[in-house]
Structure formats: structure tokens, C-alpha cells
Amino acid sequence: MPTTLRVAVVGAGPAGIYAADILKKAVAEQGGEVSIDLFEHLPAPYGLVRYGVAPDHPRIKGIISALREVLESGVVRFFGNVRFGVDIQLEDLQRHYNAVIFATGAVKDAPLVIPGVDLPGSYGAADFVSWFDGHPDVPRTWPLEAEEIAVLGVGNVALDVARMLAKHPEDLMPTEVPANVVEGLEASPVTDVHVFGRRGPLDVKFTPLELRELGELRDVDMVLYDEDFGVDPDEEARKANKQILVISRVLDQWRQRETGAASRRLHLHFWSRPVEVVGDDGVTALRIERTRPDGQGGIEGTGELRDVPVQAVYRAIGYFSSPLPGVPFDELRGVIPNEAGRVVDGVRPVPGVYATGWIKRGPVGLIGHTKSDAKETIEQLLADELSWWTPEDASPEAIPALLAERGVDWTDIAGWIRLDEHEIGLGEPHGRARIKVVPRDEMIAISRATERAER
Ligand code: NAP
């Protein structure tokens, strides 16, 4: 091992930060030394915990305290507002590190190829989530003009989207929801949110905790349809799975509830496959085809089409990763091809290049799963000493000098702490967890303390 192993991690979400932490601990156990530089294209760290987890999920956002400890451990440096492939290239990393780990996640919507999907009023969940989480790179306003809305997919993202659309905005107030988002939601005329699963009520991807939360929304009725239940011939056998049993019990309880008093409704539809977004210059309906079990564990269309009147459609059918310049990419699966985290080009390993998190295995699994993922990747990296890069200049000063020479306004850990404290301070007088600073230039200015922040 070199005197100090130098590793770059691209992506400062949970996957990248866990990888840094596990690497730091593993090298220390071997009696070695490591220095890790985390590069992030946003000025703030924490990836999907800051910009993907819904603002009314403070428990999950709490993961940030553990991630922050890693950033402040002294072994890891943070370089925010640095775009891989623009501000820094693979060749730069080769010149200054022994290896790189890509942990860039998946932030785009998976494509859905049905007629009308590009109509105005048809949106990807990823964009909407970015908006309600105050992502600096999306517009500040969101067109919330529909009274009836369809959400496609029955995963946790679909539930986040449906909940944020149906929830009365005043019930979001103690959270860190950005001010522009509250304003947008307050103007929303929504009365009905329809969530569609293409399979049955026991084939959902969301988790029981997140489902239960819907039933607790104030002044929102949960509406289920009898025709969707008792369709799957294996229903009873499948309830041997505890998670399925819990979900089925929650849904059954809701079916017994009185409805009609609430001003908003959240409908759950199953056995409904989206086939067309209907409309001329805007969405007027979602066309679904009813489905049924095909007897082999899958589904088949029944040929029965129905138009559900809606004025907006949100696709929450999964995320998809983006390719990185100079790094192999599997266009079909949306991942960097790899064997246990070791990046491969065809069948040949690419020396010095590793992947972890959603870019490694696809956009499934909870945040905690990226830990075991990172462990596997780090094991490969440490076993590969003979194929690591030999950097020309491994000095820690080389990177800040390079970024300065290229005119990059990078942010560091001290800058993040400054921004973090600033946001918490903005929230305090209003009894809010924080008020997020949304514009990128303002985030950078506060982090770099070069200008007075505008409120
Ligand atoms: P997901 O869990 O994979 O769910 C995707 C949903 O879209 C599934 O119901 C899937 O149905 C459906 N779907 C896929 N293609 C479709 C198509 N062509 N037409 C209709 N429906 C289609 O993905 P996700 O919701 O994006 O979540 C990603 C990960 O993040 C998950 O592990 C999730 O648990 C996690 N997450 C957790 C939270 C939380 O609060 N705990 C919040 C957000 C995300 P099929 O099953 O039939 O394919």
C-alpha cells in the first residue's frame, strides 16, 4: 500500500459517504492511512437524503447526522459544486489518486413509452420530487392546476408524490419544506389523487410504514375499490409473507372506513395498466387497461379499457441513472457495468475504477442497503492494490489548486456547515426544522461567505 492511499469518490449522497466511511475504517484496521476526496456536483452534500426524501419524513432525513460525522472525521474532504466530466475529468483523477469510486446514484425518471406521455401536464416524479425538496436546478414554480391527478406506480416514490399532492400544505409546516413549495401547494385546487398499480394489491413495492401514513392524512379519504380485491388466486398463500400480510390488513381496514366527509380523496387502483395519456394540448384523462393474473405469476391485459378523467399525470415508475463521461455504462439497465463493485468494460475490469449504490445495482432498496453495497465495493478495491493507479501528484494541495486554476467555485465542509447553520437559523423563528436555501448561487455564496445572503 502507498504511504497514504488516495481515493476519489464521485457523488456525496449516502452511497458515497458510506463508501468513504467503510474505506476509512477498513484501511485503519489494516494499519494503513487513507485520504478521501468526495466530489459532488451540488454545492451541498447528502444527495437523495436532502433532495429525494420528502420534507415530511424527518426521521429518514435524520440519517444526515450519521453522514455528517463521516464528513467531519478529518479523513474526508468535500468538494461541492464540482461537476465530474466538466470541472474535473477521469484523467485528472488518474493523475492525483490511486482509485475512484462512482456513487452518482439515479436521479432521472425511467422512461414510459405510451402515447401522450409528453403532453403538457404529464410529469416525471423525479422532477416533482426535486421541486418539493428545493433542488437548485429545477424551476421554482410547479404547475399545480389539476383537480384530478393520476400517479403511476405503487412504490414509495409514488406514495411520496401522492401524499405531497393530497396533503393540506399547512400540515407540512413544521418541516423543512421550502417556502416556494408551500406557496405552490396552497394554490393547488386538487380534490382527487388516483394512484395506479398495474398488478394486484399484494404486488406493491411500497412499504407498510409509508402506506399507513396515507391513512393518517387529515381531511383526506382513502378510497379503495372492491373489484380489485380477491382477484389473485394465490392471495391467501402469499400472506405468509409478513410484509404482504401487514399491507393487506391495512388495505382491508381502509375498505371498511366510512368515506365522503373529507375535502380530498386519495384513490388506490390496482389491476390497471397505463396505456395512454389522453388529451390534445393538455392531459384530459388517463387510459388504463384492466389486467388480471396470467396464472404464471405475471399479469395479462383483459382488453377492457377505461378513461379516468385527470388533468395531470405523474409517472413514479422508478428512477434511472445517467452515464458518466469516460466510464462504461449499461444503457439498458442504467448502471455502470461491474462485478461486485469492480467496474468492467465488457468482461475486462477497468483498473482503478469502482462503483457503489444505485449506479452500481439499479435504483432499488432503502438508504441502509447502500452500506452493504459499499462494503462489497471496498473489499474489491482493497484487494486490487496491484492494479491501482500510480498518481503523478498525490499531494492534497493539487486538487484545490487545479479547481482554482479552472475557476471552479467549489464548496468545502466548513462551507457546508455554514450553509447548514444558516438554514437552521432561518427556520428557527418560525418553529421550522430549517428553511432551505434553494438557488445555487445563493448556496455557494453562503458556503463561501463571499456575499451577504439574500433572504
Ligand atoms: P419501485 O419501488 O421500483 O416502484 C416502481 C413502481 O412502478 C412499481 O409499482 C412498478 O410496478 C411500477 N412500474 C414500473 N414500470 C411500470 C410501467 N411501465 N407501468 C406501470 N407501472 C410501472 O421504485 P421507486 O418508487 O422509484 O423507489 C425506488 C427505491 O427508493 C425503492 O427501494 C423505495 O423503497 C425507495 N424509497 C423509499 C422511500 C421511503 O420513504 N422509505 C421513499 C422513496 C423511495 P411493478 O412492480 O409491476 O414493476
Write the pLDDT tens digit of every residue in 302-349.
Answer: 999 999 999 999 999 999 999 999 999 999 999 999 999 999 998 899
Query: For residue 452, is pLDDT > 70?
Result: no
Dump strand ranges (E) for 142-208: 148-152, 192-196
Using the structure block, give the residue that is written with the C-alpha cell 416524479.
125
CA–CA dist 210, 316 (Å, integer): 15
Check if 136 has its Cβ closer than 6 Å to any atom of ligand 1.
no
Handedness of CA 89, 24, 34, 444 (dihedral sign): positive
Check if 436 has its Cβ closer than 6 Å to any atom of ligand 1.
no
Query: For residue 59, is pLDDT > 90?
Result: no
Check if 319 has its Cβ closer than 6 Å to any atom of ligand 1.
yes
Q: What percent of the chain has pLDDT over 70?
A: 99
Query: For residue 455, is pLDDT > 70?
Result: no
Ligand 1: nearest atom to the Cα of 205: 2
Residues in the chain: 455
pLDDT given for residue 355 in this prediction: 98
Q: Whose CA is nearest to atom 23 of ligand 1?
A: 318
Ligand 1: nearest atom to the Cα of 204: 9
pLDDT given for residue 347 in this prediction: 84
pLDDT given for residue 298 in this prediction: 93
Query: For residue 115, is pLDDT > 60?
Result: yes
Mean pLDDT, residues 261-275: 98
Per DSSP, the three-state class of 118 is coil
Ligand 1: nearest atom to the Cα of 112: 18
Check if 63 has its Cβ closer than 6 Å to any atom of ligand 1.
no
pLDDT given for residue 450 in this prediction: 59
Task: Look at 1-10, 269-278, 443-452 and tell me which has the smallest mean pLDDT.
Answer: 443-452
Ligand 1: nearest atom to the Cα of 110: 15
CA of 255 to the centre of ligand 1 (A): 23
pLDDT-derived band at 454 (thresholds 50, 70, 90) equals: very low
Ligand 1: nearest atom to the Cα of 57: 40
CA–CA dist 309, 194 (Å, integer): 10
Mean pLDDT, residues 94-104: 98
Check if 158 has its Cβ closer than 6 Å to any atom of ligand 1.
yes
CA of 206 to the centre of ligand 1 (A): 7
Check if 156 has its Cβ closer than 6 Å to any atom of ligand 1.
yes
Three cell numbers written together for 88: 474535473
CA of 325 to the centre of ligand 1 (A): 28
Mean pLDDT, residues 98-115: 97
Can you state the percent helix, strand and coil of the chain, rounding each to 5?
A: 35, 20, 45
CB 109 within 8 A of CB 16: no
Q: Whose CA is nearest to atom 28 of ligand 1?
A: 364
pLDDT given for residue 451 in this prediction: 47
CA–CA dist 380, 80 (Å, integer): 27
CA–CA dist 377, 369 (Å, integer): 13
pLDDT-derived band at 174 (thresholds 50, 70, 90) equals: confident
Q: What percent of the chain has pLDDT over 90?
A: 90
Query: For residue 255, is pLDDT > 50?
Result: yes
Q: Among 50, 205, 272, which is best to mutate for testing ligand 1, by the most ligand atoms less than 8 A from CB?
A: 205
CA of 401 to the centre of ligand 1 (A): 43
Ligand 1: nearest atom to the Cα of 319: 26
Query: For residue 427, is pLDDT > 50?
Result: yes
CB 314 within 8 A of CB 142: no
Check if 108 has its Cβ closer than 6 Å to any atom of ligand 1.
no
**pLDDT tens readout for residues 11-39:** 999 999 999 999 999 999 999 999 999 99
The overall average pLDDT reported for the chain is 95
Q: Whose CA is nearest to atom 33 of ligand 1?
A: 156
pLDDT given for residue 290 in this prediction: 98
Using the structure block, give the residue that is written with the C-alpha cell 451540488.
42
Ligand 1: nearest atom to the Cα of 125: 26
Check if 368 has its Cβ closer than 6 Å to any atom of ligand 1.
no
pLDDT-derived band at 173 (thresholds 50, 70, 90) equals: confident
CB 243 within 8 A of CB 83: no
CA of 364 to the centre of ligand 1 (A): 8
CA–CA dist 85, 74 (Å, integer): 27
